[in-house]
Amino acid sequence: MATYGQIPPSPAALMESLGALGYSLEAAVADIVDNSISADAATVRITFDWNDGAPFAWILDDGTGMSVDGLVEAMRLGGVGPMAARRTTDLGRFGLGLKTASFSQCSRLTVATRQGKSIASARWDLERMAHADSGWELLKGAEPGSEARLEPLKQQHRSGTLVLWELLRTGTETSLPRFLEAVERVERHLAMIFHRYLDGDAQRLHIHLNGRAITAWDPFVTWHPATTPKPLARLRDPSGDVTVRGYVLPHRDRFRDEDEHQQAGGPDGWVAQQGFYVYRAYRLIVAGGWLGLGGSREWLRDEASQLARIRIDIPNSIDTVWRIDVRKATARPPGSLRDGLIRLAADVRRSARDVFAHRGVRTGIQPDAMPGRLWRATASKRYPYAIKREHPLVQTAIDNSADPALTEALLLAIERTVPASISATPHRATEAEVDEMVLAARALMRNLVSLGVDPQAAVEQVARTEPFDQVPDIVQGLKGVD
Ligand SMILES: Nc1ncnc2c1ncn2[C@@H]1O[C@H](COP(=O)(O)OP(=O)(O)OP(=O)(O)O)[C@@H](O)[C@H]1O
Ligand SMILES: [Mg+2]
């Protein structure tokens, strides 16, 4: 076959470009910590050293370490690629993170690793690669003069790996205060991204940053007695099951003081941090936002729903379906799960709005005061009672239902039509109420169609059925269901 011969990428240019994938400093550090977790580390020590304006940083773990061959392979771009099967606890996917994250922050990457007594180290130096025509030649050892920076690994007396970043890009152009601010951002980010490792249901991990232990930040404020968890739901999907749990966070007044309230809000604040939290093998990928989901319209991060946060757990085997990116910073649910997620989220958002508006409390009946009751009082004049989804009977019925969306549609229809709910005053449904009804109507419609009813006839039937007959533009809302 006629060819132009091998066209290898230009080394320094490719490395530089891969570093421009859009990592923040904190996301880059998190990517390195991912590798430590995959290597079963129990402790990760991170140091940022200002070094009089020539800063460097290192990340040391006490994981399994690597053999010399392993180290060389680790330095390769795309070493273990995306198609390889991985252990369920492996946070990697692309064989790129170590390199891309590092070169987004620095020009010289040295990795030293220890197994037993043997220590090996290797480095890539972009400045050297750009000047000397050294191709893809991997350098041995630390930069002359930097050997002492590998000392912490030697002193550890255990297996482990040290990643050293030199020629940091946050270098000469920043000042010491800016540098320290950046380090603080790293701390807040790691406290959030790895909170389930720091203090939760994942394998235990300690992270020290400049000598200080990082404490977990729990987005669901589960330590607060006024946080209301929703029942755990499992969404089944051919691509892989996911589990989902909604939390309605406490009203501002329930916090001890403004500090505690702000702290619970999170690094970006209450409004920005509402929504879905997607975890891949317990590691947080997406921290808030509504993933492009919604009812009649895409949901926004609005003030009134700021107390709604929803945990989604996905395994690392369905990365492609969820479109996980190299930075592990974005995820997108597959189409097949959208309706299920919308249904669960609509319920959490509704409860969160009630709490935000101080409702539920005003009725004098706490939702959880009477756990055995099937009904709870709501703040709505129109629909003063709701069926408790967390009631054991209801939960069991939903769990055992072949079509949970349809069961939910039935519950909603009962709530909306039970004679006690019908008040004389005309009621304009809120946007959230319309969204819920549309979802329920779509579930019913889908079921009718699957039973063989002609789609057009199904639309007419659903649109005539109580309570959907009350929904404006319901026919419009049933479009696209088949
Ligand atoms: N701290 C570490 N301890 C032990 N092995 C490591 C460590 N860091 C990296 N490795 C090895 O180097 C390999 C390459 O790491 P890299 O982060 O580039 O890719 P990855 O983790 O496989 O995938 P991703 O690109 O999704 O992060 C890893 O698969 C692992 O085998
Ligand atoms: Mg990695």
**Every domain range in the chain assigned CATH 3.30.230:** 218-357
- Could you read off the pLDDT of 248-293 as tens digits, one per residue? 999 999 999 999 999 999 999 999 999 999 999 999 999 999 999 9
For the chain, give the number of residues: 482
Closest approach atom of ligand 1 to CA 36? 1
Q: Do the bridges between strand 118-125 and strand 139-140 make them parallel or antiparallel, or are there none, so unpaired?
A: antiparallel
Query: Between residues 415 and 57, which one has the greater pLDDT?
Result: 57
- Please determine, for residue 406, whether its predicted confidence score (pLDDT) is greater than 70: yes
C-beta of 92 in contact with ligand 1 (< 6 A): yes
Pick 11-213's CATH classification: 3.30.565.10, 3.40.50.150, 3.20.20.70, 3.40.50.1820.
3.30.565.10
C-beta of 98 in contact with ligand 1 (< 6 A): yes
pLDDT at 474: 85
- Please determine, for residue 363, whether its predicted confidence score (pLDDT) is greater than 50: no
Closest approach atom of ligand 1 to CA 94? 25
Average pLDDT, the chain: 88
Domain 218-357 has CATH 2.30.30: no
Query: Between residues 473 and 283, which one has the greater pLDDT?
Result: 283
Find the mean pLDDT for residues 189-194.
97
Residue 420 CA to ligand 1 centre (angstroms)? 60
C-beta of 72 in contact with ligand 1 (< 6 A): no
Residue 96 CA to ligand 1 centre (angstroms)? 8
- Please determine, for residue 245, whether its predicted confidence score (pLDDT) is greater than 90: yes
- Could you read off the pLDDT of 223-239 as tens digits, one per residue? 999 999 999 999 998 88
pLDDT at 289: 96
C-beta of 95 in contact with ligand 1 (< 6 A): yes
- Could you read off the pLDDT of 304-332 as tens digits, one per residue? 999 999 999 998 888 888 998 888 889 99
C-beta of 94 in contact with ligand 1 (< 6 A): yes
Pocket perturbation via mutation, ligand 1, pick of 31, 71, 77, 98 by most ligand atoms within 8 A of CB:
98
Ligand 1 atom 11: the closest Cα is on which residue? Answer: 74
Pocket perturbation via mutation, ligand 1, pick of 18, 23, 35, 102 by most ligand atoms within 8 A of CB:
35
% of residues, the chain, pLDDT over 70 = 93
User: pTM of the entire structure?
Assistant: 0.77
Find the mean pLDDT for residues 75-100.
85
Alpha carbon distances (Å) from 304 to 79, 154, 277, 329: 47, 53, 18, 26
Residue pair 309/220 in contact (Cβ under 8 Å)? The answer is yes
**Every domain range in the chain assigned CATH 3.30.565.10:** 11-213
